[in-house]
Structure formats: structure tokens, C-alpha cells
Amino acid sequence: MENPLLAPWSNKFGIPPFLQIEDAHFEEAFNLSIAKAKNNYDAIAENENAPTFNNTITEMEKADEALSKVSHVFFNLVGADSNIKRQEIQLKIAPKLARFNSEILTNPKLWTRIKKLNEDVENSNCTTEQKRVIFLYYQIFVRAGAELKETNKRRYQSIMSQLATLGTEFSQNLLADESSWCLALSSSELDGLPDFLIDTLKKNAEERGIDGYLIILNRTTVIPFLQFSKHRHLRKKVYLAWISRGNNNSKTNNLEIISKTLTLRNERSSLLGYDNFSHFKLETEMAQNSKNVKDLLMSVWEPAKRRAKSDKLELQKLLSKDAIKDELRAWDWRYYAEKRRIQNYSINEVEIKSYLQLNKMIEAAFYCATKLFNLDFKLLNSNLYHQDAQIWEVTRNGEHLALFIGDYYARSSKRSGAWCSALRSQSKLNGNVRPIVVNVCNFSKPDNDKECLLSFDEASTLFHEFGHALHSILSNVSYPLVSGTSVARDFVELPSQLFEHWLEVPEVLEKYAIHYKTGKPISKHLLEKLKKAKNIDQGFSTVEYLSSAIVDLFLHEGPVPKDPILRQNEILRSIDMPTSIDMRHSITQFAHIFSGDGYSSGYYSYMWSEVMDADAFKAFEEKNNPFDKETAKALHDCILSKGGSIAPEQAYINFRGKLPNVKALLEQRGLSTAGNIT
């Protein structure tokens, strides 16, 4: 029987035939498609004709189409619906893929052709996009060791293979810790918990075939439990389990993986002539170097830290009122912050959550995309990889633009967090290829007869990931290398964080924030209270994020520590980390930087992009219209449709006229009064 991963997908939209694909198909598909890609690249390298864009770059863009097709399906499944067999395949295939990529990027004949094209690019008749693609290929090859001596090339290939295996093991250890831990609760231990959370805990227990209530290590369960549980000892137990992921005395401990990863990354950068991994990693980002990153992070760190320390004094008073003679701890912060919000603003999470139904928030995101970019969304009936996933066709003026898949519910087979990926990217190389974009979240799934209610943070996450999706959906480039979200890491978060702003637009909330019981829209009075309370705990959230970004940068900038946890704590002490707050991601569960190197020495990028998103939304505010058509068209034409086809700095300047400064970010976070602003 023909392997469905290798056969043409003849359905209308080219959706992967998930019902026909078995796990056993993947190894064969990977092996055959890697071999096919190698042959294609060899043919390009051995071409005796002088290099041209078409006979080199265009052919390289086509060379691994079959492999990309298989990889997109497999790695989407590994993230969203993993199992033991898929994890075993991932451990086998990750180093193979890394070796394959290294062999291609260190092929001397391919490198000679690309170097020649880059040297002659200004005298060529290439388009602006083609020149950009040539430059990026040149940069990729150099940074992958194309100019190394043969011995060093082999070592570089070995390093990349080992790093791929370590990243896979890190992810799988984290998933194992998250899926194996649980805590049973009796009905007497539910004090303070809202109905939506009690329903979730009951459902967790039912899914595992036990009576009662069960806490599992999923963010959408852990965070509200810490926020509402009146039992301090239970908050402590859950919190310590949450922050201990990847750092338990078991085979899933990630500390050795972290040490090996940091050592190999340092060696990788040293082989390429860089002082450290941060210097290597940041060279191609908007930030360019670690000094610029530090300047940004520390300019926000000081006012955020002052705000957090001031907030702690208020929360400590509330703790004392509960007759607790102890210092405010990390497992206390969210509980007393919620109390303070109710006390100061007469608003609580349960009240807001009653208005934020998942299906309505999806509609709200679609509504904003329609008003801004004239998009239409039609729900399709198609067999996907899991029954919880839904798929929509995205059109504009009746023309097919993309497919969008939303997979929103948490399950034990899904890694934690939220992300955007693709089953196919947009390009015009082989006709008008339109993307299949996937948003994955981890919201608690309700019983069939109940609505899925989101916190405001969860609704923001939904909008955030849909902002990434729009970046891919609206992509309009010729070459896969620069399609959609294929941009600098500290630019990729701009569209996602910018789109979050539309969740706060009164018109959107009044239309889609509908009470799940009464059917009434959210009141203007409640909206005003929500607006006033927006930044009440901004010191905490900024400190927990920034501390993670600073530790990430310093770990990759300095020598490899003998004890990574000890080094983490040294860094935190050096920046005067407030007590009662921990890093958002302690290093043993810091998947952003250790499951792969995508965000390694780059976790700062969320804040770098936030400087831009704060300024970018002002473009709409200056027009007194969050849906201003002229501004939306500029955003579409200058940024969202361009992918990586132009430099990110230029893309932003084309949209806004100049690059922004940090002042807009501090104002957005309500931190401009927490310190002197210059």
C-alpha cells in the first residue's frame, strides 16, 4: 500500500489525509524524502552551468518539498497529539534531520554557487525579493559553517546532531513530568474555587477513571488554582510541583541536558569565530548585540522591580489580615493579587470569565480580521488529527486565501503552552500555494453541555496566536524561505502582540463578551472597571517575564556553568530579583530556549516586539479608529504580507516612518510612573 505521506493529496485544499496516516508511515517517509532531497541538492551542486538565481536558489527552494511536507505533518502531531511511538520516531529522526541540514549547508559546491550569486547580486536583474533571498541564503550558509575547514565541518555537523537529540529529550522529559503528576482533592479542599475550576478538576478525575477532583500540571488548571484556593498548603504543593518540572530526582531531570546543550552551543559559536553563543545568535536579529538587549531589558527592569516591591507591601498586609505570620511567598502572590483586585476595583476573574466564551472569542478574532483586512471565515467539515480541532476556509472577496485550524483544548498528549505553526506555507514558486495555518492552545475543555470560559489572559493568548496566524495567512511572497513568520525572532512577535490590542477595543467586547448564562453583553461599567484594573499586577508579570529573559541572555553570554541552577540563582541575585516572585520559566522547564534554539538568547524578543506593538497601535489611535482602513492597509502592505522579504527594520519604518523607543512600552504597561523616564 502506498505511503499516504508520499502520495499526492488530491482533496480540494490539499489537507493531509490524517485518517490514512499511521505512525509506521513516518520513518519510511522521512528516510525516502531525505534521500530524495539529497539527490536534488546534489544535482544543483553538480550543475556545470554558471550559477543563476533560477538554477540554484529556485531549485534549492524546491529541493526538499517532499521532506517539508512530511516534517510539517509529523512535528505538528508531536506537539499537539503526541504518543510513545511518535516520541520514539522523533528521537530517531531529529539527529538525522540535523545531519542532513548540516551536510547541505556545508556542501562546498553549493556554497561556491551561493557565494558567487551574492557577489554579483547588485549587477544582476534580480527582484528586490530575490536579492533578499540570496542574502539570507548566504548568511545561513556562513552561519552553518560553510567556510569551516573539513575537520571543523564534521565537528559542527556532530554538534548540530547532538543538539537536536538533546532538544527532543528536553521536550519529552517536560511532557512526561506534566502528564505524570496529579493531586487528588476532596470536596472540603475546594474552598474558594469558582465553579468553572471545580468542573475542570472533576473532569480531570473522570478522564482518569477516579472519583472526586484532580489537579494536573496544566497551566489552565494550575494558575486559577493558585489564584483562588483558600488552602495555602495546597497552593504551595501545586506551585512547587509546577516549578519543579524537569528538575525532579528522576530520569526526566533536565539539568544534564541543559549543561550539555550550553556546552555544545558555546563550541558551535566558537567554531564560527564568535566569543559566545549570544554574540552568534543576536548578530542577525534586530537587536544585533547583547548590549542593545540589556539596555532594553534593564530600562524596563528597574521600574518593574520598583512596582513589584511596592505591590508586595500591599499583598503582605492582606496576608497578615488572614493571621498568617509569614512572608508572602510565590504561591501566595496570585491569591492575594486577586483579593486586592476585588478590594480596589470591585472586579474579579470569575466575573470577567463569565463573559469570555471560547467560541465567542474565536468569532471576535475573526470579526477583527474581517474589519481590518476584509477576510471571511467558513467552517469546514474535514477529518483532522484530533476531534477537538476545527478548520475554517479563509477567503477575501471570494478568493481562497488559506485554511485555518484551531486546536484549543488541553489534553495529556499535547505539550503545554500555546503556539502557531503551519502544515503548509504560502509561496508562488509552484503556482499560488496558499497556507494551512494551525493555532494550538491549552484551554480546559468543559463538559458537552457547558461553555468553555476563558480568563482575560487566555483570551489574549487566543488573539496573540491568531495574530501569528494572520502573518502567515496574509503572506504574499514568492519564495518559501521568506514566507509568513519567517522573519527575525525579535520581529516575529510584533503581529501577534499587536493583534492582542483589538481584544480591548470596546466595540469588540460589547459585541462578543456575552455572559454565558444571561446572554447579555458586558456592560460599559464593567468595561471601565476592567480598563482601570488592567495594569494592577503589571509589576509581577513584568518581573517574572524579564527575569527569564535576563537569565536566558546571561546563560548564553558567559562561560558554561558547572551547576546551571546555581548560575541561574546567581544571576537573579545580581539583578536584585524581588522575593515572592519566581521566573516565569525556571531553566529546567524553559522549553523556549532548550527544546530547540529558536528563542535561545532570544526570549527578550517578546519585549523587543512589544516596543513596536505599543507604537504600532498608536497609529490606529491617532486616527481615533481601531479599524481605520488606511492604517490597516499600511500594516498589511508593509508588514503582514511581506514576510521576511525585506529587512524588519525597513518593514517597520515603511509602516510607521521611524523606529519606536521604550517609552510607549512603559506607558502601555503602566510603568511610566514607576521610575524616571527619559
Q: What is the mean pLDDT of residues 348-370?
A: 96
Between 671 and 373, residue with greater pLDDT: 373
Q: What is the DSSP string of 506-550?
A: HHHHHHH-B-TTT-PBPPHHHHHHHHHHTTTTHHHHHHHHHHHHH
Task: Judge whether residue 350 has pLDDT over 80.
Answer: yes
User: Once rounded to an integer, what is the mean pLDDT over residues 99-128?
Assistant: 96
C-alpha to C-alpha distance for 430 and 649, rounded to whole angstroms: 29
Residue-wise pLDDT for 523-580, tens only, equals 999 999 998 888 899 999 999 999 999 999 999 998 999 999 999 999 999 999 999 9
Q: How far apart are CA 426 and CA 404, in angstroms?
A: 13
CA distance 79 to 76: 5
* Residues in the chain, overall count: 678
**What pLDDT, on a 0 to 100 scale, did the predictor assign at position 449?**
79
Q: pTM here?
A: 0.94
DSSP state of 402: E
What residues does CATH 3.40.390.10 cover in the chain?
358-503
Residue type, 604: Y
Beta-carbon contacts of 577 under 8 Å, excluding residues fewer than 6 positions away, are 543, 547
pLDDT tens column, 230-269: 999 999 999 999 999 999 988 999 999 999 999 999 999 9
Alpha-carbon Rg for the chain in angstroms: 25
On whether the CB atoms of residues 117 and 57 are closer than 8 A, the answer is: yes
Least confident among 344-358, 393-407, 630-644: 344-358
Looking up cell 524578543, which residue turns up? 605
What's the angle, vertex CA 194, arms to CA 192 and CA 197, rounded to 5? 115
Report the CATH superfamily, name and number, of domain 358-503: Collagenase (Catalytic Domain) (3.40.390.10)
Whole-Å CA distances, 529 to 311, 346, 523: 19, 8, 10
Share of the chain above pLDDT 90, in %: 92
Q: How high does pLDDT run on average in the chain? A: 95
Identify the pLDDT of residue 675.
42
Question: φ and ψ at 146, to 5 degrees?
Answer: -60, -30
pLDDT, tens only, 26-72: 999 999 999 999 999 999 999 999 999 999 999 999 999 999 999 99
Model pLDDT, residue 349: 87
Q: Which tens digits make up the pLDDT trace of 289-332?
A: 999 999 999 999 999 999 999 999 999 999 999 999 999 999 99
Query: How many CA atoms lie less than 13 Å away from 43 in the CB half-sphere?
Result: 13
Are 266 and 254 in contact, with CB atoms under 8 Å apart?
no
Grid cell, residue 262, equals 550550553
What pLDDT is attached to residue 673?
63
Here the cell at position 490 is 525579535
Q: What percent of the chain has pLDDT over 70?
A: 99
DSSP structural state of residue 580:
T
Task: Say what angle helices 538-557 and 255-271 make with each other, to 10 degrees.
Answer: 60
6-28 mean pLDDT? 94
**What was the pLDDT predicted at 420?**
98
Summarize the confidence of residues 646-672 as an average pLDDT.
93
* 399-409 β-sheet, strand order: 376-380, 390-396, 399-409, 436-443, 419-424
- For residue 636, give every residue at least 6 positions away whose Cβ sits within 8 Å of its Cβ, in sequence order, or none: 372, 373, 474
**Local confidence band at 674 (pLDDT 50, 70, 90 cut-offs):** low
Q: Look up cell 531525505; give the residue.
A: 34
Q: Which is nearest to 565 in space by CA: 259, 300, 352?
A: 259
Cell 528597574 sits on residue: 302
Positions of CATH 1.20.1050.40 in the chain? 24-105+107-143
Please report which residue ranges of 106-211 form alpha helices under DSSP H. Answer: 108-119, 128-143, 150-180, 195-207
Phi, psi values for residue 437, rounded to 5°: -110, 140
Asked if CATH classification 1.20.1050.40 holds for the domain at 24-105+107-143, the reply, yes or no, is yes
Sole residue written with cell 522547564: 589
The burial of 192, by beta-carbon neighbours within 10 Å (0-12 exposed, 13-18 middle, 19 or more buried), is given as middle
Interatomic CA distance for residues 186 and 189, integer angstroms: 5
pLDDT at 481: 98
The pLDDT, as a whole number, for residue 360 is 98
Task: Give the pLDDT of residue 645.
Answer: 98
Kindly report the CA angle at 111 between 107 and 116, in degrees rounded to 5?
Answer: 160
Contact (Cβ atoms closer than 8 angstroms) between residue 497 and residue 613 = yes
Report how far apart the first and last C-alpha atoms of the chain are (Å, whole number): 68
Quick one: pLDDT at residue 321? 96
State the cell numbers at 269: 559559536
What's the pLDDT at 365? 98
For residue 209, the one-letter residue type is G
Region of residue 430 (phi > 0: left; psi between -120 and 50: alpha; otherwise: beta): beta
Exposure string over 230-249, b if 16+ CB within 10 A, otherwise e:
ebbebbeebbebbbbbbbbe
| Confidence band, pLDDT 50/70/90 cuts, at residue 672 | confident
1 CB neighbour count, 10 Å cutoff:
6
CA–CA separation, 199 and 228 (whole Å)? 14
Asked if the model's pLDDT at residue 676 lies above 70, the reply is no
Is the pLDDT score of 184 beyond 70?
Answer: yes
At 534 the pLDDT is 87
The distance from CA 373 to its chain's CA centroid, rounded to whole angstroms, is: 23
